[in-house]
Amino acid sequence: MSKVVSLKPAAAIPARRSANDWRHLVEAYQRSGEHRQAFCARHGVSVNTLSWWQWRLRQTGAGAGRSNPTKRAPLFVEVEPPGVTPAPVDTPTDWDVELDLGAGMTLRLRRPSC
């Protein structure tokens, strides 16, 4: 006796898209005004994958055109209230750092004695 085995056809493997292809697809989705699920079903893409690419392109700045990394805002900017002159660096103080944590809590870090 021979056994008959029927094989189901393999699921279609989605085409690989480049980052540029995804950028165009995300832009098309944003212009479409469609619900994400409807847009993804029409274009044969996963809702989660489209969401990830939206996030990824926002992180790299590619969603709004190519950004120049040399023109990005600095990560840290020292801000001082108007009219306040900072104390000179070599002036000894009781506290090196004082941080108001709210709810009446303050964190103070003392300068180590030499």
- pTM for this entry: 0.44
Q: Which tops the pLDDT comparison, 19 or 67?
A: 19
- Residue extents of the structural domains in the chain: 19-67
Residue 73 has pLDDT above 90, yes or no: no
Residue 71 has pLDDT above 60, yes or no: yes
What is the pLDDT at residue 27? 92
Mean pLDDT computed over 67-91? 67
Contact 98, 92 (CB under 8 A): no
Kindly report the length of the chain. 114
Query: pLDDT tens digit string along 24-34?
Result: 999 999 999 89
Contact 95, 110 (CB under 8 A): yes
